[in-house]
Amino acid sequence: MDTRDSSGLPFMKMHGLGNDFVVLDGRARDISVTPALAVALGDRHRGIGFDQLALITRGGAGDAHLTFYNSDGSTSAACGNATRCIARHIMDETGQKRLTLTTDRGTLQAVDAGQGLTSVNMGPPQLDWADIPLAEPMDTLELPIEGAPTATGMGNPHCTFFVDDAESVALEQFGPRFEHHPLYPQRTNVQVASLIGPDHLRMRVWERGVGITLSSGSSSCATAVAAARRGLTGRRVRIDLDGGTLQIDWRDDGVWMTGATMHVATGVLTADWLATV
């Protein structure tokens, strides 16, 4: 779509536990998302504002294909909370209880979990250094970084620090310090997590290309996998984030994430605003 189209551009605003998204539906019309459009839309003062931008297109082998953009204009292969939000939207739209969604991460299954909750299988975690990816061969369980974090891939790279008190970490300084660590050639999402009970974690998130977010689905999956690998929890855990709670279940077929979603509003980006992009 030419963003100068006089009809404007419809959009939806959604969030999963405060992790917020602008969603563009390109199933019925062609929409071209450029880095400049993503950055402009992500501006919370002059645009709409989001943690991620998601584009829905026709699915081919699945019910829909999803492409994700960060607020700095870069792309991400995975965004768990956005996937759950869009899955809920399509379920409500079609009456389906199960969906197949394709992403750059791969093919993901989504199901209606009842009581307004939506579950998505984010696929198997990537545990080998080359798949995450890291810059050189190493054990991903404890990286040679201060704090000995665990590296995990969920279609995007993650670096999880287990600390005594996640609340006490100055994430606004801590996050960017490790997002750009040389061991992560594609940068990384950064999590700080503390164990607060059996199979119960408190986690805070710094997302690459975004900053501090109230919630992150792929970060929650990565943290659950890291905690299980380190013997801190079992494979089914509750994770409390700044924006709410997710249930993560690392099964044989992948890492399932379950939680609430919200469709906040539907609107139209005006032709005048699009002409400034």
Q: What is the pLDDT of residue 5?
A: 60
Whole-number percent of the chain with pLDDT over 90: 92
Q: What is the pLDDT of residue 1?
A: 44
Return the DSSP state at 116. T
Number of neighbours of residue 220 by Cβ within 10 angstroms: 34
Q: What pTM was computed for the model? A: 0.91
Of the candidates 16, 70, 30, the one whose C-alpha atom is nearest the C-alpha of residue 247 is: 16
CATH architecture of 9-122+261-274: Roll (3.10)
Q: Break the chain down into helix, strand, coil percent, rounded to 5.
A: 20, 40, 40
Q: Where are the alpha helices (DSSP H) in the chain?
A: 35-42, 80-94, 171-179, 217-229, 271-274
pLDDT in tens, 128-169: 999 999 999 999 999 999 999 999 999 999 999 999 999 999
**Bind-site residues for substrate:** 19, 52, 70, 80-81, 156, 189, 207-208, 217-218
Contact between 80 and 39 under an 8 Å Cβ cutoff? The reply is no
Residues belonging to the active site: 79
Strand 150-153 to strand 236-241: parallel, antiparallel, or no bridges (unpaired)? unpaired
- Average pLDDT in the 45-53 region? 96
Contact between 51 and 71 under an 8 Å Cβ cutoff? The reply is yes
- Average pLDDT in the 219-244 region? 98
CA–CA distance, 130 with 136 (Å, rounded to integer): 8
CATH 3.10.310.10 fits 150-252, yes or no: yes
pLDDT in tens, 169-189: 999 999 999 999 999 999 999
Q: What is the pLDDT of residue 44?
A: 95
pLDDT of 227 > 50? The answer is yes
Domain ranges in the chain are 9-122+261-274, 150-252
**Bind-site residues:** 19, 52, 70, 80-81, 156, 189, 207-208, 217-218
CA–CA distance, 245 with 182 (Å, rounded to integer): 32
More confident residue, 209 or 69: 69
